[in-house]
């Protein structure tokens, strides 16, 4: 029997090694999930590697079980409890411990309080924290059209950091100083907020602080009061890019491929996002902007404005914050407005019930 030449065996080994090496270098395929009629392109595309990398980021922390609502109230025992005074001492202490773990695990209670006098108002962080508790209660009470029964807690945005990872400031439209081209409207920056594209670098101020209409096409013919200019359309595209990246989804998560502007036949997420945009705008105007004089200069943007929230603040790359983990059920004190009296709460609930039906039809 003839013996194979040495170079033949070596060639086989090299070929086998090449196959193994190349197969190891191949990236696993992305996953597509169809949620519309076949052939319409209504699919969502997910990258398994990205989802795996984000798994720990979107894991909700374990929470201690709620305590009974009995015993002396925190407002009767402690001094200067302005928001959560109707909680029992046990409930109040439990929430403070959890807030420390959610927001400032390294700094501890001293991040907001003077350890020598917990009732003191010396730190601006205490004023901000009080306002943020009220904001959280307001979201869970008045914005169920967006957050549902899942709700939000401090951890939804903070994830163990004193300052949420995703915040925004009003951008400078001309950051390069003197510009002989004129007003560039923040275009051709490029900016991370719009995926390094040539779109305007601040799609948030017009929509999440101002009341510009989010549209690409106008409802009427020009020039009959139609203000849907190319500039406004580009703002809209910038906001849509932000929403897509913030939720880790593509356009068909909210839009109907047959007509992107059409409401009929579209996914229900479009209505949810409609409420989310208006919720973000209201929170920025009613809770964040009033804190402008409270925050020190080093916590403000280059134009002197306070940090504000957008879709990414809660979602951080997930189609549902924390992939839908319902932390609110373990913290019912964040789901009721403890600053209102019982008659006012009853009137407020009746008003919301009467307004709920027509809102859902929009």
Q: How many CA atoms lie within 13 A of 295 on its CB side?
A: 20
pLDDT score of 344 more than 50: no
Same topology between domain 68-163+321-362 and domain 166-315: yes
pLDDT above 70: residue 287: yes
Instruction: Return the exposure string of 53-67: e unless at least 16 CB atoms fall within 10 Å of the residue's CB, then b.
Output: ebeeebebeebeeeb
Amino acid 356: pLDDT:
47
pLDDT of residue 180: 60
| Among 170-184, 261-275, 286-300, the least confident range | 170-184
17 vs 247, more confident: 247
Is CATH 1.10.443.10 what the domain over 166-315 is classified as, yes or no? no
Residue 44 host element (H or E): strand 43-46
pLDDT at 126 over 90: yes
**Residue 285: what pLDDT?**
96
Query: CA-CA distance, 226 to 260, in Å (whole number)?
Result: 19
Whole-number Å distance between alpha carbons of 144 and 136: 12
Higher pLDDT: 40 or 358? It is 40
How is the chain split into domains, by residue range?
68-163+321-362, 166-315
pLDDT for res 67: 79
CB 232 within 8 A of CB 215: yes
Q: Which residues contact 213 (CB under 8 A, 6 or more apart)?
A: 227, 228, 232
Mean pLDDT for the stretch of residues 177-192: 69
Report the distance separating Cα 215 and Cα 198, nearest Å: 19
Q: Which residue has the higher pLDDT, 271 or 49?
A: 271
CA-closest candidate to residue 329, choices 140, 83, 164: 140
**How large is the average pLDDT for residues 254-274?**
87
- % of the chain beyond a pLDDT of 90: 49
CATH node for 68-163+321-362: 1.10.468.10
More confident: 247 or 66: 247
Q: With a cut of 80, say whether residue 28 has pLDDT above it.
A: no
If one compares 25 and 277, the residue with the highest pLDDT of the two is 277
Burial class (CB in 10 A: 0-12, 13-18, 19+), 25: exposed
CA 77 to CA 85: how far, in whole Å? 9
Averaged pLDDT for residues 317-327: 92
The model's pTM is 0.82
Determine the angle formed by the axes of helices 269-283 and 124-142, rounding to 10 degrees. 150
Task: Pick the closest to residue 249 from 57, 37, 30, 59 (CA basis).
Answer: 30
Give yes or no for residue 58 having a pLDDT over 70: yes
In Å, how far are 150, 165, 326, 360 from 147, measured between CA atoms?
6, 20, 10, 14
pLDDT of 3 above 60: no
- Max avg pLDDT among 7-11, 33-37, 128-132: 128-132
Given pLDDT bands bounded at 50, 70 and 90, which one contains residue 196? confident
Least confident piece of the model among 46-50, 101-105, 129-133, 341-345: 341-345
pLDDT score for 197: 82
Please determine, for residue 82, whether its predicted confidence score (pLDDT) is greater than 60: yes
pLDDT > 70: percent of the chain? 81
For residue 38, how many other CB atoms are within 10 A of its CB? Answer: 8
Distance, CA of 287 to CA of 208 (rounded, Å)? 13
Across 29-38, 217-226, 232-241, 283-292, least confident range: 217-226
């Amino acid at each position: 029997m003839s013996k194979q030449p040495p170079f033949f065996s070596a060639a086989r080994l090299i070929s086998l090694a090449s196959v193994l090496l190349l197969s190891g270098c191949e990236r696993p395929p992305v996953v597509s999930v169809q949620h519309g009629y076949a052939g319409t392109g209504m699919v969502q595309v997910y990258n398994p590697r990205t989802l795996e990398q984000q798994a720990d980021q979107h894991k909700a922390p374990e929470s201690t079980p709620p305590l009974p609502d009995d015993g002396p109230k925190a407002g009767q025992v402690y001094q200067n409890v302005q928001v959560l005074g109707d909680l029992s001492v046990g409930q109040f202490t439990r929430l403070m411990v959890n807030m420390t773990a959610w927001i400032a695990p390294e700094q501890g209670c001293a991040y907001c309080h003077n350890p020598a006098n917990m009732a003191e108002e010396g730190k601006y962080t205490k004023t901000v924290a009080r306002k943020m508790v009220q904001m959280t209660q307001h979201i869970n009470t008045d914005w169920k059209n967006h957050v549902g029964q899942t709700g939000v807690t401090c951890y939804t945005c903070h994830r163990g950091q004193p300052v949420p990872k995703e915040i925004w400031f009003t951008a400078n439209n001309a950051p390069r100083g003197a510009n002989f081209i004129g007003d560039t409207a923040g275009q051709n920056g490029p900016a991370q907020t719009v995926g390094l594209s040539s779109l305007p670098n601040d799609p948030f101020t017009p929509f999440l602080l101002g009341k510009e209409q989010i549209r690409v096409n106008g409802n009427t013919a020009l020039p009959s009061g139609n203000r849907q200019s190319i500039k406004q359309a580009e703002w809209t595209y910038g906001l849509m890019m932000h929403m897509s990246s913030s939720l880790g989804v593509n356009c068909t998560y909210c839009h109907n491929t047959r007509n992107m502007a059409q409401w009929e036949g579209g996914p229900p997420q479009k209505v949810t996002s409609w409420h989310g945009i208006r919720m973000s705008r209201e929170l920025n105007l009613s809770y964040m902007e009033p804190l402008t004089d409270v925050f020190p200069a080093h916590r403000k943007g280059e134009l002197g404005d306070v940090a504000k929230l957008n879709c990414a603040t809660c979602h951080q790359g997930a189609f549902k914050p924390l992939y839908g983990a319902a932390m609110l059920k373990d913290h019912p004190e964040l789901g009721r407005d403890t600053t209102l009296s019982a008659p006012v709460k009853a009137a407020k609930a009746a008003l919301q019930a009467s307004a709920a039906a027509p809102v859902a039809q929009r």
